[in-house]
Amino acid sequence: MITNNPNANLIEAMKEKLPLKGQLADMLMDTLYIGKEAVYRRLRGEVPFTLQESALVSRKLGISLDQIVGISFKSNAMFNINIVDYDDPFESYYEILDKYVTLVNSMQDDPNSAMGTSSNIIPQTLYMKHELLAKFRLFKWMYQNKNIDCKSFEELEMPAKLVNIQKDYVGMTRHIHSIDYIWDSMIFQHLINDIQYFSSIHLISDETKEEIRKELFLLADELEELAISGKTKEGNQVRIYVSHINFEATYSYVETNNLRLSLIRVYSINSLTTMDNEIFHSLKEWIQSLKKFSTLISESGEMQRIQFFKQQREIIDTL
């Protein structure tokens, strides 16, 4: 409940984020570098949180300062712009991926955790463990930015730590207990078109293109197996839908008891992210509404599933 007491609002918001006994106190000691008794004096309201302490806690838990002061600006929201730096693309891309991996891996096991994605390209959480496919996304972005020296796909050398963090990015979904994927029916076609273009201007060799083709067939097999079982190898539920309408962009959300994160893909490999509640509810509702235009192919819709993956393999085979 929002009151006219910012300190009480902050305490209430923190307890909503970390309801388990002792969890909130431990977080405050680690974040504010104060002792247990000082923490409990603040939680009892005997000592108010300072502005600096409120800001640190708000950033840690994703609590809106608007919520704390009891004001709602419905037309405003704060976004993080996760844009790869032109001057040091490898390191900045690594830092962006590492931030997501650290955030999700640090979450307490939450049986209610959920993720939803509506994609007009193959989601990063599904293809990034395949080195050539992951490399191609970065190559395309680097080549498009003329300020970066990137002569050909084969000459692009990926740092080992970047290759590893991309695999960790795929692995972090083991913490998500329920996943909804809604795919554009042309999800492979867009990627094939890009690869064919770079091949036509001799920036990808025929030998490398064949290796990418093999990875795409392997990915198609993995996705079909995932659709048949409806579960990840960790036993988490996955629902896969194929949309009958096209998407203009890729939207995603991650939700746990302590986190509500919205992501909008921009500039190929970059994203805008926010923990704003209004944006989260709007984006989640939008993604879920796409199901009315889609066919569920995981665990059910066997005929549609077979037809979909047959079509995707025929598209891959044109490469």
In tens digits, the chain (319 residues) has pLDDT values of 445 577 888 888 888 777 776 788 888 988 888 888 888 888 888 888 888 888 888 877 777 665 666 544 444 455 455 555 556 778 888 888 888 888 787 766 788 889 999 988 888 888 989 999 999 988 888 887 765 566 789 988 888 999 999 899 888 888 889 999 999 888 899 899 999 999 999 999 999 999 999 999 999 999 999 999 999 888 999 999 999 988 777 888 888 877 788 888 866 666 777 877 888 888 899 999 999 999 999 988 889 999 999 999 999 999 8
- The ranges assigned to domains in the chain are 6-69, 80-317
Contact 107, 258 (CB under 8 A): yes
Contact 276, 213 (CB under 8 A): no
Contact 266, 121 (CB under 8 A): no
Paired with 263 in beta bridges are 252, 273
Class of domain 6-69: mainly alpha
- Report the pLDDT value the prediction gives residue 73, as an integer from 0 to 100: 41
- Report the pLDDT value the prediction gives residue 303, as an integer from 0 to 100: 92
- Report the pLDDT value the prediction gives residue 144, as an integer from 0 to 100: 78
Q: How far apart are CA 74 and CA 278, in angstroms?
A: 7
Q: How far apart are CA 95 and CA 212, in angstroms?
A: 26
Helix (H) or strand (E) holding 213: helix 206-229
Paired with 152 in beta bridges are none
Surface-to-core class of residue 283, CB atoms within 10 Å of its CB (0-12 exposed, 13-18 middle, 19+ buried): buried
Instruction: Please enumerate in sequence order all residues whose Cβ is within 8 A of that of 50, keeping only pairs 6 or more positions apart, or say none.
Output: none
- Report the pLDDT value the prediction gives residue 192, as an integer from 0 to 100: 94
Residue 211: count of CB within 10 angstroms of its CB? 13
